[in-house]
Structure 1
Amino acid sequence: MRTLTGLVVLWLISMSVFALFYVVPSNVARTLGGRQATPETIAAINERLGLDEPLWKQYASFVGDALQGDLGYDYYHQVPVTTIIAQAVPVTLSLAVGAAVIWLVLGITNGVISATHPRSLADRSLTAFALFFYSMPSFLLGLVLLYFLYFKLTQAGYAWFPPGGYAPLSEGVGPWVNHLLLPWATLALVSAAAYTRLTRGSMLDVLSEDYIRTARSKGISERRVTYRHALRSALTPIVTQFGIDLGQLVGGVLVTETVFSLPGLGQTAIIAITQQDLPVIIGIVLFASTAVVVANILVDLAYAVLDPRVRIS
């Protein structure tokens, strides 16, 4: 059922994208070709897309090509859109997955500590930490980290961090990690604050349940009660939020990629919008939408692992 719902959502998105870019413009070929399109380019677009065919045939061709991995042709750079996306996806994936691991570990750990020591100094300190970073925009945190950890340290003779850019894994793990440390910290600190609050609230609710008191009365160690019983039940809302956040991150992190000059999907989308490169915009919208839908389906599947009472149809 979840998979069917996801497919329906993707179908509706494909219809919206097709209507927005293929039906609304008065001259579709001119719009897709961009401001610098020549008459020859416009004629080639008309022939390639079959724009003289009925709309239902154009839509069927649009969906069929997308299902086969053909997201169109970028006439601005004279390459397939999939080539541009393939170059940007590893950057965004590296940023999203690395930051997600950090904020999950940090957020869940802080939330568990706060929930198991309510109203203590640790709880109040971690709550203050969460509120501070939760209220800080990611672009501001990124600029602050660049100023102190790159500019100031470099001035002092300690060039530990690069000013931005991306080093692929083919150049070695060290350069790859070094270029992503500050972007990871920017995303992780902001997101970890939300996960700290979410974990704390969920854990406090679970720790007050009858089965937790029963487990304690049987003499089970507090550590096992906390991590084996309470945390597992408290993870359901956290997994829900994680699926949404990770899907959006894979779709492109506009602000962070722009601040740190990372050539990922976010920065690629901004450049395409600036240049009115519509085929690339269409391709990124479809890819990002698919990433969000797939992430939510995986979250639903994870529910059955965390809570056997949940049945996924």
Structure 2
Amino acid sequence: MTRFALLRTLRMVLTVGVVVLITFGLTRIAYQNPARMLAPENASDETVSAIAASLHLDDPWWVQLWHFAIRGPEIKGTPTGLLHWPPSLGYSYRSQRPVTDLIIEKIPVTVSLAVGALILWAALSIVLGVYAARKPGGVFDTVTSLFSYGALAVPTFVTGVILLYVFYFQLSLAGVKVFPAGGYVALTESPVLWAQHLLLPWLTLVLAEVGVFQRVVRASVLEVSGRDYVRTARAKGVAPGRVYFDHALSAALNPILTLGGIEFATILGGAIITEQIFGLDGVGRLAVSAAKSGDAPVVIGCTLLGAVIFVVTTFAVDLVTHARSAK
């Protein structure tokens, strides 16, 4: 187990390092003259050159990478950088604030969106998948299969727009104001308003994920439902619900946990489309805004956050599934 954990940790560190290098390089290719983008509209060449010099944008790429990863900006005379502790992701070109502070401000929105959606789609997928596996080819299995294929076929932005049109626009025209048009209310401020603002975004993500997740649950449960201990449980007269939920589902958890961890990490890394549709000011929206304005440090920071979340989540899932397989 220790060797397995060390190898996965090494792979995690290497993956994050490669992501940093690739993202850093791509931002330098995409923004050929970021100083001009950051300067006022009618700024002189001298002003643009001064901006480039102050941000080290006229240095070779390896010097810029050194400033980002090792040296970093100095705060109260102390050099910062990605490899310092606490790590620094640099300063936003636009707001002149630490990228870390900007991300910390936005992360509660994205976490609320991802965690709520995960709980809903995992519960729904497990229930639908297990009951579909009880009678494969039956009416319930056929209906849930059609539902899954339909949910997979519709893009997320289409689902979000339809939900917003039906449950906000049409209900508001009818005088029923249940859901807001968008925005976010903190959980600490009002749990009811928090859930009310996030319910439609949650449903958008649930419909996007429940199709594939439900099919994986069904296939995993079907794979183990013919094993000896499941047949023995049936022969002893154990209730069907306990046979499938306690015995079959428990044995089929590994692929379910793996897929669930990957999907959760993907959403937590930035549900860009959903945040844009419902006006949620989260990490995904921050990344899009930074990409449009040429704010490379924020783009790199958001991308790095997504990569770290992904590798840490998959690392945790690997440890859990490895421990379960070793039993």
The answer to whether TM tops 0.5 is yes
Conserved? CA contact 1:51–1:58, under 8 Å: no
Conserved? CA contact 2:117–2:206, under 8 Å: yes
Q: 1:45 is matched with which residue?
A: 55
Conserved? CA contact 2:271–2:284, under 8 Å: yes
Matches within 5 A, 1:144-293: 144-293=162-311
Selected match of 1:8 from 5, 14, 22: 14
Assess, with a 3 A threshold, how the Cα gap between structure 1 residues 50 and 274 changes in structure 2: closer, same or farther. closer
- CA deviations 1:225-252 (Å, max 9, x no partner) are 2122210111211111111111111110
Q: Distance in 2 between matches of 1:26 and 1:158?
A: 47
Residue identity opposite 1:66 in structure 2: L
Q: 1:89 is matched with which residue?
A: 107
RMSD: 2.6
Residue identity opposite 2:231 in structure 1: R
Assess, with a 3 A threshold, how the Cα gap between structure 1 residues 31 and 247 changes in structure 2: closer, same or farther. same
SS in structure 1 of the partner of residue 252 of structure 2: helix
Deviating more after overlay: 211-220 vs 9-18: 211-220
Q: Does 1:31 align with 2:38?
A: no
Residue identity opposite 2:54 in structure 1: A
Assess, with a 3 A threshold, how the Cα gap between structure 1 residues 32 and 101 changes in structure 2: closer, same or farther. farther
Q: Distance in 2 between matches of 1:53 and 1:129?
A: 51
| Shift of residue 129, structure 1, vs aligned partner | 1.6
Deviating more after overlay: 122-131 vs 173-182: 122-131
Q: Distance in 2 between matches of 1:223 and 1:151?
A: 41
Conserved? CA contact 1:6–1:294, under 8 Å: yes
Assess, with a 3 A threshold, how the Cα gap between structure 1 residues 241 and 26 changes in structure 2: closer, same or farther. closer
Q: 1:300 is matched with which residue?
A: 318
- TM normalised by structure 2 equals 0.85
- CA deviations 1:126-178 (Å, max 9, x no partner) are 22221221211111111111111101111111111001111112321111111
| Shift of residue 20, structure 1, vs aligned partner | 3.6
Q: 2:136 is matched with which residue?
A: 118
Assess, with a 3 A threshold, how the Cα gap between structure 1 residues 86 and 149 changes in structure 2: closer, same or farther. same
- TM normalised by structure 1 equals 0.88
Q: Where does the alignment leave 5 or more consecutive residues of structure 1 unmatched?
A: none
Q: 1:65 is matched with which residue?
A: 81
Q: 2:120 is matched with which residue?
A: 102
Q: Distance in 2 between matches of 1:26 and 1:86?
A: 25
Aligned pairs, number: 305
Assess, with a 3 A threshold, how the Cα gap between structure 1 residues 26 and 299 changes in structure 2: closer, same or farther. closer
Assess, with a 3 A threshold, how the Cα gap between structure 1 residues 62 and 261 changes in structure 2: closer, same or farther. farther
Identity of aligned residues (%): 36
Q: Distance in 2 between matches of 1:113 and 1:121?
A: 11
Deviating more after overlay: 166-175 vs 86-95: 166-175
SS in structure 2 of the partner of residue 17 of structure 1: helix
Residue identity opposite 1:31 in structure 2: P
- CA deviations 1:235-286 (Å, max 9, x no partner) are 2111111111111111101111111111111111111111111111011111
Q: 2:76 is matched with which residue?
A: none
Q: Distance in 2 between matches of 1:299 and 1:142?
A: 29
Q: Distance in 2 between matches of 1:54 and 1:271?
A: 26
Conserved? CA contact 2:68–2:89, under 8 Å: no
| Shift of residue 289, structure 1, vs aligned partner | 0.7
Residue identity opposite 2:51 in structure 1: T
